[in-house]
Structure 1
Amino acid sequence: MKQYLAIDIGASSGRHIVGRAEGGKIVTQEVYRFPNGARQENGHLVWDTAALLSSVKAGIAAAFAACGKIDSIAIDTWGVDYVLMRGEEEVLPCYAYRDGRTEQAIAAVHEIVPFAKLYERTGIQFQPFNTVYQLYADKCAGRLEGVTDFLMIPAWLTYKLTGVKAHEYTNATTTGLVNAETRAFDKEICAALGLPEHLFGETVQPGAAAGRLLPEVAAKVGGEAEVVFCASHDTASAVLAAPVEEGEPYISSGTWSLLGIEQSAAHTDAESRANNFSNEGAPGGRFRYQKNIMGLWMLQSARKELGMGFAEAEEAARACPCKALVDCNDEIFLAPASMCAAVREKAGAKLSKAEVLACIYRSLADCYRRALAEMGGKAGARFSALHIIGGGSKDGFLNELTARAAGVSVIAGPTEATAIGNLLAQFLAGGEIGGIYEGRELVKRSFPLQTFEA
C-alpha cells in the first residue's frame, strides 16, 4: 500500500501529514508540526528559510520513523513569496509578503504597465504584495544583478530536496506575471519591467514529478521517496479537496475567506477588475475565479476583546435577537484598535456584547449572500449549493445563517482541506485515482460533511 506525505506550510505553522487510500477512503496521520513566522531584520519582515528547510527535513524524517516507507512527497505553502538564487547560493534576506518595501514599486510598475493592462493579461487582482511588485522592488534595489534563478517558496523547498528547479502553475499565477491565455509567464510584461527573461521558465502542472530525494537528503531523513508537485499554492490545494460538482461555488473559510468557482477560462474584463475578482490557477490549467471577502477575523477579534471562547460567543449570538447589520468589507474592520467599537460605530447603535457578536454573525452571512449573488451574476448562474471548506467550516451557526441568508444549501467540510488537496494531487500522480472528481468523491466518503438547508 502506497503512503504519501503532504507537507502543508502556512504563514504561522507547518505540518507533515501522511495519507493513503485504504478501503475506498483517505486515511491520514499527522506526524510532525512546527512553528513558522516572519521576523524583523534590519527594519524588514523576512522569512528564516534555513529554519524552514530544516523543519521540512525534520518532518520527513519523522514520517519515515513513524510509517516505515513514504512513496512520494509534495509541498504547499502560501503564495506570492519567493527565493532568489545566484548559482547555488540564496540571495538573502527572503522578504515576507507583509513587508512594506513595495510601496514605491507599485506606482512605478503601473506607470510602465497600467494596472488595467496587467489585469487584462494576467487576471490577477491588485494586492500590494503581489510578486510582480516585489520583484520590481528587487530590481530597483539591485538585488536581481547576477541572479540565476527565481523560485516560489514551495518550488525552492522542492529544489533543495531534489536538485530540480521548476515553476508550478497554481503558485506561479500568484506572481501576477502569468498570462491568463497562454498559462505561461508573460514575456512582454517581464521585458517591459526589465525583469530578466531567463528567470521565467515553463510552468508544470500539479502531479508532475520533480525527482527523487537527493542522496544526501535521503541519508539525513532516513529513507528514499519521489517528490512531486502538488497544487503548491495552499488555496489551490484546499479547493482541489472541495467536494464540489462542476460549477458549484466554494468558500475557503478562515481568518480571511475566498469565494469562488472553477472555470476553464479566465475573466479579465473591466467589470471583473472593478469588482476585484481574481483568476488564480487550478490544476489542469483551469482557473479559480474568486474574490477575497471577510472571514472569521471580525469574530476572532471581538471574541479576544471580550475574553470569550468560541462556544460561549456562539451561544450568546444565537440567543440574541439583534438584527443590526454592518458592511463587513468596510476598511474600518481590517485592523481596528477595538473591533467592538468599530461594529458599534458602523451599526450606529450602543450594542451590548451579545448584540455585537450577533451583528457580526448576521453581517458575515449577509456579506456571503451579496458576494454569492455577485458571483452568480458574473457566471450567469443561480446557485443552489455552497461548499464551505477549511477551519471556518466548523462554525455551525454561521453556516446556518449563511444558508438562510443566501437561500442555498451549505455543505460544510472538510476542515483540513489543504493537506487533503495536497494528498489528492499525489494520488493522481501515483495512479490511485483517475481524475479530480474521482478524488472529490473519495473526499465525500472519507470526511464528515454537514449540510445546512436554507
Structure 2
Amino acid sequence: MSVGRAGTVAAVDLGATSGRVIVGHVDGRTGTLALDQVARFPNGPVRLASGLHWDFTGLYRDVSRGLADVFRREPGVRSVGVDSWAVDYGLLRGDRLLGEPFHYRDERSAQAVAGVHESVPFEELYRRNGLQFLPFNTVYQFAAEREGGWLGLADTALLVPDLVGFLLTGSRVAERTNASTTGLLGVTTGEWDLELCERLGFEASVLPRLVSPGESLGGLRPDVATELGAPDGLEVVAVGSHDTASAVVAVPMRPESSAYISCGTWGLVGVELGAPVTTDAAREANFTNEGGVDGRIRFLHNVMGLWLLSESVRWWERDGDTIDLPTLLAQAGAVTGDVPVFDANDPRFSPPGDLPGRIAEWCAERGIRAPQTRAEFARSIMESLAEAFADAVRQASILSGVDVEVIHVVGGGSLNELLCQRTADRSGLPVLAGPVEATAIGNVLVQARAQGFLGEGADLETMRALVASAFVPRRFEPRPLVE
C-alpha cells in the first residue's frame, strides 16, 4: 500500500438535535488526523398543521453558512461529505421540494403499519429487508404518504443527506448505508426491492440510483459554488451517510471480538458482520441488518438512548429552570438508594413530552417506587440504559456468534462516565469510551480515502488503525454489580 499524502475535507454531520460542519485534516504519510469544528447549529422538530416536520429549509441554510465559513478558512479543501440520521426523506417534483420532510416521530407512520403488514407479513418483510420493526421506518412512512396522496405527486424521494447533496450538486442518488434503513432495499442483494414496492403500491420510479460510500456525486452547482465561495475542483463525495455507518468506521475495534455502542439521541448497539443474520431468533429479538461501509453489515438493536435524559431535561426546563447537565449527572452518580430499572425500549418513551411522568407511570403500573428527585430520575435513566445496552450486547453475541470481549462506546455518550461505568458493570465487560466525534471522523476518513490521502489499498482496518493512533479511549473496568 502506498503511503498517501496530506489533505483537507469537510464533513457535514446532521443529528436529530444539532448539526455541525467540521474540517478534517488527514495526513496518510504520518498517520495523523485532526478535526476542527467550524459551525454548529440547532436542529429539531417543528409542529405544523400537517404534523411533526423538520425545518429542512433552515437546516440547509445553516449547512450552507457553515460550508461558506469552511471555504473562507480552508481554500484547499478537496471535498464535502454529508451524513445524517436515517429513514426520513424529502419528496421532489422536478426541482421543487413538496413541503418540509416529516419527522420520524410524527404519528402518521404508526397508523400505516397494519396495512403494510397485511400486504406483506412482517416475517416475510424481515427476510427481505433484514430490518427490525420500528414504526417510523421509511417503508411505513411511504405507506402513509401514499394514503395521503403525496407520494403520487413526487418523482423522486431523497433521504436527508442525499437531499442536501442534491441541493449542492443536482445529483439524485441514494447512498447505500442510509438506503438500507428504508425497508425497501434487499438485505442480500443490496439493491432496491422492486417487487416489494409493487406489492405495497409504491411507484419504484421515486427511488433514485444507488451509490456506495466513496463515490463522487460531482461538483457543486455553479450558482451554489459562487454563493458559497467554493474552491475550484471541489466535489461532493458519498460517505456512510447514515450517521451510525460513519460512526462505526471510526470505532477502533477488532470486529471478531468487539461490540459497539454509538450513543447519542439513540443508542445503536451491535456488532459488525460480513453477512446479514435474518433468522427467526434475530427477528424475534428485533435486531436489524443495516449496510455498513465497504459492504459490511451493522447487526444491531436500537435502544432509546440519551433522548430519555435530554427530553427529561427539556421538560424540566419548560418553566424557565436551567439545568447544568454535568452537575445533574454528578448528583445522579451520588445517589445511594435503589432506583427503578425500567424498560428503556418501551414505545411510550418515544414521543416528546413529559418523560419523567411516563417513567413514574411505568413504575406505578408495576407497584415500584418511582424516582422522587431529578437526580434519582437521571440515575434511573442511566441504570436503565446501561441494562438495555448490556442486554443488547449479550443478544448480539448469541445471535451473531461473535464472542464479545470488549464494548466500544463512541459518540456523545462516551463522555458520560456514569453511563459507561454502569454499562461495564451490568455487562461484565470492559468498556472503551471514545472517540466522541466518531461520526465526523468516519465521514472524514471515507472522503480522505476517496481523495487518495490514505494511499492505495486502504481498507476499514487501515482507517481504524489511524483512529486508534489519534484518539486514546478511556477504559472502564467492570465492577461487582450492586443493586
- TM-score range, shorter-chain basis? over 0.9
> Offset at 1:204?
1.3
> Offset at 1:95?
2.1
Question: Hey, what does 1:348 align to over in structure 2?
Answer: 368
Structure 1 residues 205 and 362: CA distance shift in structure 2, 3 A: same
Say whether the 8 Å CA contact 2:360–2:370 is kept in structure 1: no
Question: Hey, what does 1:20 align to over in structure 2?
Answer: 25
Say whether the 8 Å CA contact 1:325–1:347 is kept in structure 2: no
Matches within 5 A, 1:127-138: 127-138=134-145
Say whether the 8 Å CA contact 1:162–1:211 is kept in structure 2: yes
- Does 2:147 correspond to 1:147? no
Identify the match of residue 418 of structure 1 among 439, 446, 451.
439
Say whether the 8 Å CA contact 2:116–2:143 is kept in structure 1: yes
| 1:64-104 deviations in Å (ceiling 9; x for gaps) | 11112210001111111112222222222432222222243
Structure 1 residues 369 and 105: CA distance shift in structure 2, 3 A: closer
Q: Higher mean Cα deviation, 198-207 or 73-82?
A: 198-207
Identify the match of residue 309 of structure 1 among 324, 329, 342.
324
Say whether the 8 Å CA contact 1:185–1:201 is kept in structure 2: no
Identify the match of residue 435 of structure 1 among 456, 459, 462.
459
Question: Hey, what does 1:389 align to over in structure 2?
Answer: 410
* Cα separation, 2, equivalents of 1:163 and 1:222: 18
Say whether the 8 Å CA contact 1:122–1:178 is kept in structure 2: yes
Question: Hey, what does 2:179 align to over in structure 1?
Answer: 172
Question: Hey, what does 2:357 align to over in structure 1?
Answer: 338
Structure 1 residues 435 and 349: CA distance shift in structure 2, 3 A: same
2:19 is aligned with what amino acid?
G
| 1:284-333 deviations in Å (ceiling 9; x for gaps) | 22211111124234444666749763443344344444355523336365
> Offset at 1:435?
1.3
Structure 1 residues 357 and 449: CA distance shift in structure 2, 3 A: same
Say whether the 8 Å CA contact 1:238–1:421 is kept in structure 2: yes
Identify the match of residue 284 of structure 1 among 267, 279, 294.
294
Secondary structure (helix, strand or coil) at the match of 2:142 reads: helix
Question: Hey, what does 1:63 align to over in structure 2?
Answer: 70
Identify the match of residue 238 of structure 2 among 229, 239, 248.
229
Secondary structure (helix, strand or coil) at the match of 2:268 reads: strand
> Offset at 1:439?
1.0
- Does 2:265 correspond to 1:250? no
* Cα separation, 2, equivalents of 1:154 and 1:268: 27
* Cα separation, 2, equivalents of 1:143 and 1:355: 45
Q: Higher mean Cα deviation, 32-41 or 4-13?
A: 32-41
- Does 2:343 correspond to 1:328? yes
Structure 1 residues 88 and 356: CA distance shift in structure 2, 3 A: closer
Matches within 5 A, 1:25-36: 25-36=32-43
> Offset at 1:389?
0.6
Secondary structure (helix, strand or coil) at the match of 1:4 reads: strand
| 1:358-385 deviations in Å (ceiling 9; x for gaps) | 4444443333222222221112233210
* Cα separation, 1, equivalents of 2:36 and 2:406: 31
Question: Hey, what does 1:41 align to over in structure 2?
Answer: 48
- Does 2:428 correspond to 1:407? yes
- Does 2:390 correspond to 1:369? yes
> Offset at 1:154?
1.1
| 1:197-255 deviations in Å (ceiling 9; x for gaps) | 22234421111111011221111111231110011111111111111112311011123
Structure 1 residues 5 and 347: CA distance shift in structure 2, 3 A: farther
Say whether the 8 Å CA contact 1:324–1:347 is kept in structure 2: no
Q: Higher mean Cα deviation, 60-69 or 145-154?
A: 145-154
* Cα separation, 2, equivalents of 1:143 and 1:16: 32
Secondary structure (helix, strand or coil) at the match of 1:251 reads: strand
* Cα separation, 2, equivalents of 1:154 and 1:2: 23
* Cα separation, 2, equivalents of 1:410 and 1:88: 47
Q: Percent identity?
A: 38
Secondary structure (helix, strand or coil) at the match of 2:217 reads: strand
- Does 2:113 correspond to 1:106? yes
* Cα separation, 1, equivalents of 2:108 and 2:311: 27
Say whether the 8 Å CA contact 1:178–1:184 is kept in structure 2: yes
Question: Hey, what does 2:3 align to over in structure 1?
Answer: none
Secondary structure (helix, strand or coil) at the match of 2:218 reads: strand
2:235 is aligned with what amino acid?
E
2:327 is aligned with what amino acid?
E
> Offset at 1:46?
2.3
* Cα separation, 2, equivalents of 1:21 and 1:53: 26
2:266 is aligned with what amino acid?
W
Question: Hey, what does 1:198 align to over in structure 2?
Answer: 205
> Offset at 1:175?
0.8
2:472 is aligned with what amino acid?
P
| 1:257-304 deviations in Å (ceiling 9; x for gaps) | 111111111112222111111111101222111111242344446667
Identify the match of residue 250 of structure 2 among 234, 241, 246.
241
Say whether the 8 Å CA contact 1:38–1:48 is kept in structure 2: yes
User: Normalising to structure 2: TM-score of the pair?
Assistant: 0.87
2:85 is aligned with what amino acid?
W
Question: Hey, what does 1:259 align to over in structure 2?
Answer: 269
Unpaired stretches in structure 2, ≥5 consecutive residues: 1-5, 479-483
Identify the match of residue 187 of structure 1 among 183, 194, 216.
194
* Cα separation, 1, equivalents of 2:435 and 2:367: 34
> Offset at 1:114?
1.3
Say whether the 8 Å CA contact 2:272–2:297 is kept in structure 1: yes
* Cα separation, 1, equivalents of 2:302 and 2:361: 21
* Cα separation, 2, equivalents of 1:328 and 1:48: 31
1:7 is aligned with what amino acid?
V
Secondary structure (helix, strand or coil) at the match of 2:151 reads: coil
Question: Hey, what does 1:2 align to over in structure 2?
Answer: 7
| 1:132-170 deviations in Å (ceiling 9; x for gaps) | 122222222222335322211211211221122211001
2:144 is aligned with what amino acid?
A
Structure 1 residues 21 and 124: CA distance shift in structure 2, 3 A: same
* Cα separation, 2, equivalents of 1:292 and 1:18: 29
Structure 1 residues 325 and 370: CA distance shift in structure 2, 3 A: farther
